[in-house]
Structure 1
């Protein structure tokens, strides 16, 4: 009986609000974003070239009158969460409410250079969302992932067995690569002295293509699972190679690991990094491994960014037996893989660039 008696009524009500906020947001947050993408609302507002009123949006979408109140409710919730902005527009003598895009929803406009709509479609895929209801069972199943527990297959086997899920995954990773490519434009210093680079797990090659465009003299190799690269065609300075990073990695001046190591536990990452070290052996001062990953830093990051990194850590741990890492964990991993030095630099809003030297 005890614990509630030491809490004030105000604290109990505050706790209730906090609990309900997270319970209700669990489904509503991501599914309202999915709803917005599926209806093409960011595209409609973008093509409208100005803030759009609710009646105009309802007319374009041909919404039944009985659902207009629900649509307004979703739009206002999305605006509260920063995915739309509510503005006041004047028409004749009337002032009306209208909706405009924010930086976050600009990233959901299809056909643009930096569109993350494929990431939304992948993350909200029923195959993924279904797995989270099995967290309790996962907790007691030694060494099994949420995919193993809920679907009887790990993620990599699942990608091989389900072509449509594999396509969605590759499209999501390709869309995220555009964000990284934007950041790489300001990182010319990373490629100084590099004449060849291998993008391990580079997917369809979006990042490698960006590197080739920015540095025409650099020879790029995209190294990924055979089923990912077998139908892809290279160019003068871009080639695709299929293989297994746990066996060996093609030789180059530099190896790029972009959002790869968080998929794996420390032992697996050590094997990958050891193969990277072999791939750059004999390259002298130009040889290095370039890692693009999260670095958890509760002491310096603002609360929202830390929350994102910790949420990603939960996701990687439960879905893949991987992890997001703090700097001390990165240092331990790097040293155990046989490297002598590393340097961490800011990269995107949440990702860091880690240069590792033999």
Structure 2
């Protein structure tokens, strides 16, 4: 009898946990939208400044006092938002007692939260947050069901244009997208250059779809014998970073690629289907000398999805890319498509 009660109790706890997890997933969109508002209000910058003075946290009253508002409800709204971020370890939260004897919450910036500061020079995921919550991206989700049943791709159905055409018409979004690509490149290329030795002894590299030039800036910095050519669309090249040893050239990669000993792709092939990739690789082949090589950096989709943070991050990016490019990502086996 006791054993039966224990089994029933365990089953009830498991069911409760499953229900809570389902509720959490159904409302998870509240997190990125709340985080964006907190970023846009500059609240993380306010909290970060408090880290330099004891006790390293700042009260809600002090945070709200730095906002340009007379709204009597601002204190409550800000506290609601920051509590949510604390539950996701973006902020730390403690209760403090004021001189009036009343308690209130005090917030600090966590090691994760620092990556959502609007850092112009370091790694910041604010551009990613803003891009993913832009009207273009949000609107695309409404068409995923139609794309599943009818074909096509969400961006085209929503706006009648490819993502890169939208970027060409929106300077603010284009700048944010280029900033995002630059940050992503810095993180990825540091790992590539740490482990890949194929740039040693190379004299010239063309980075196709190289954005504002961050890839080549890092490559040339580690291998100064290399002369780099950063190749991308005109609306991207106009924002390119001046860099010694790197020349920026605008053009269409499906038409012609500048000749070089190494032609480098990072996060390029995943934007296109098989036919476009074959066309691009043929143009690449024509631009390579006899002993030249193509170096491609891509994320590989796992055959069986796991629940670890790496798998979640890769598959979240995969579904976002699908919205814009209708690309079926490649798995670890060359014949495997997802």
**1:120 to 2:148 alignment:** no
Shift in Å, 1:200: 0.9
Give, in angstroms, the shift of residue 320 of structure 1.
0.9
Alpha carbons of structure 1 residues 67 and 88: separation in structure 2 relative to 1, 3 Å: closer
Q: Report the alpha carbon displacement of residue 60 of structure 1 after superposing the two structures with TM.
A: 1.9
Assess if the C-alpha contact under 8 Å between 1:220 and 1:237 holds in 2: yes
Q: 1:182 to 1:51 in 2, by over 3 A?
A: farther
The answer to whether structure 1 residue 21 and structure 2 residue 24 are counterparts is yes
Q: Does 1:41 align with 2:47?
A: no
Separation of aligned partners in 2, 1:234 and 1:153: 31
Aligned-residue RMSD, C-alpha:
3.0
2:332 aligns with 327
CA distance in 2, matches of 1:232, 1:207: 11
User: 1: distance between equivalents of 2:313 and 2:137?
Assistant: 18
After TM superposition, give the deviation of residue 269 of structure 1 in Å. 1.9
| Contact 2:181 2:211 (C-alpha < 8 Å) held by counterparts | yes
The residue that corresponds to 1:214 in the other structure is: 222
Please report the TM-score for the alignment, with normalisation by the length of structure 1: 0.78
Q: Distance in 1 between matches of 2:94 and 2:264?
A: 44
Residue matched to 2:274? 266
Q: 1:228 to 1:13 in 2, by over 3 A?
A: same
Q: Deviations over 1:106-154 (max 9, x none)?
A: 1122234212222222221122112212222222333x21111111222
CA distance in structure 2 between the aligned counterparts of 1:127 and 1:239, rounded to whole angstroms: 32
- Which of 300, 313, 321 is equivalent to 2:318? 313
1:246 aligns to what SS in structure 2? coil
Which of the numbers 116, 141, 150 marks the counterpart of 2:150?
Answer: 141
Distance in 2, matches of 1:125 and 1:228, equals 19
Deviation at 1:230, TM superposition (A): 4.6
Structure 2 gap segments, 5+ residues each: 1-10
Contact 1:316 1:324 in 2 (8 A): no
Helix, strand or coil at the partner of 1:296: coil
1:174 aligns with 2:190: no
Verify the 8 A CA contact 2:64 2:74 in the aligned structure 1.
Answer: no
Once the two structures are superposed, what CA deviation does each residue of 1:228-252 show, in whole Å capped at 9, x if it has no partner?
2257575551111122222232222
**Structure 1 counterpart SS, 2:202:** coil
Q: Which residue of 2 aligns with 1:81?
A: 88
Give the structure 1 partner of residue 77 of structure 2. Answer: 70
User: What CA deviation, in whole Å up to 9, does each residue of 1:69-96 have, x standing for no partner?
Assistant: 2221211111111211225679899887
Gaps of 5+ in 1: 1-7, 334-358
Deviations 1:139-187 (A, max 9, x none): 2333x21111111222122222333332222222223223234434524
Give the Cα separation in 2 of the matches to 1:113 and 1:36: 20
Q: Name the stretch that deviates more: 304-313 or 30-39.
A: 304-313
Alignment coverage as a number of residue pairs: 320
State the TM-score, normalized to the length of structure 2.
Answer: 0.82
SS in 1 for 2:327: coil
Which residue pairs with 2:191 in the alignment? 183
Contact 1:180–1:207, Cα closer than 8 Å, also in 2? no
C-alpha separation between the residues in 2 aligned to 1:220 and 1:85?
44
Preserved CA contact (<8 Å) 1:131 1:147: yes
Local SS of the residue matching 1:107: helix
1:275 is displaced (CA, Å) by 2.8
CA contact (8 A) 2:212 2:241 kept: no
- Distance change >3 Å, CA 65–CA 274, structure 1 → 2: same
